[in-house]
Amino acid sequence: MSLFDKKKTATIKTSKVVAESLGKVKKEKTVKEEKSMKDLYDSTDTSNNKQKKVSDKKVFKYEQAYNVLRKPLVTEKVTNLGVYNKYVFVVADNTNKVEVAKAVNQIYGVKPIKVNMIKMIGKATRSGKVAGKRKNWKKAIVTLSKGETIKIYEGV
């Protein structure tokens, strides 16, 4: 016996207010309906519900695209690379070229021709007597075909 086969009685109360010359009189009407558990959890209009599910649900082929591409790198040298259809991103340390290409395709909708990866070693820093080191990070240079662009620098 499944959960949806059980019947549940639902009591619905409706009230009507009738104004009379002496005052307001309240009448209550009680209606009992038998509904199955399936009816309670299922919506009444299935055709609209199916269309709504398709439109509301985003299709992610590569769900971790935003974890791979951390942020676009915006420097003077990188903006000059835009002439050659090259864009630079700060990426996660454990990603490879294939993952970066898939993430760019998923997020921006353009397929890269070439992806170059550079591992950046953190610089040694010093503040008075305290010595430290910046974190290591990785950047990816993504080359696109002619005519394709990514609008990264719009709000900068």
pLDDT digits 0-9 by tens, 79-111: 999 999 999 999 999 999 999 999 999 999 999
Amino acid 42: pLDDT: 59
- Residue whose C-alpha is closest to residue 99's, from 140, 63, 142, 68: 68
Per-state percent for the chain, helix, strand, coil, to nearest 5? 30, 35, 35
| pLDDT the model gives residue 132 | 96
Element (H, E) at 36: strand 24-36
pLDDT at site 95: 94
pLDDT value for 40? 58
The pLDDT of residue 127 is: 95
Q: Of 117, 112, 99, give the one whose Cα is nearest residue 63.
A: 99
pLDDT at 19: 47
What is the per-residue pLDDT for 151?
Answer: 86
- Both tokens assigned to 105: 């395709």
pLDDT score recorded for residue 16? 45
Q: Hey, what CATH class is 65-143 in?
A: alpha beta
Give ranges for CATH 3.30.70.330 in the chain.
Answer: 65-143
pLDDT for 122 equals 95
Distances (CA, A) of 27 to 18, 32, 45, 105: 8, 17, 31, 63
Nearest Cα to Cα of residue 29 among 42, 45, 13:
13
Series of mean pLDDT values for 10-residue runs along the chain (156 residues): 52 46 51 60 54 48 82 93 94 95 93 96 96 96 94 72
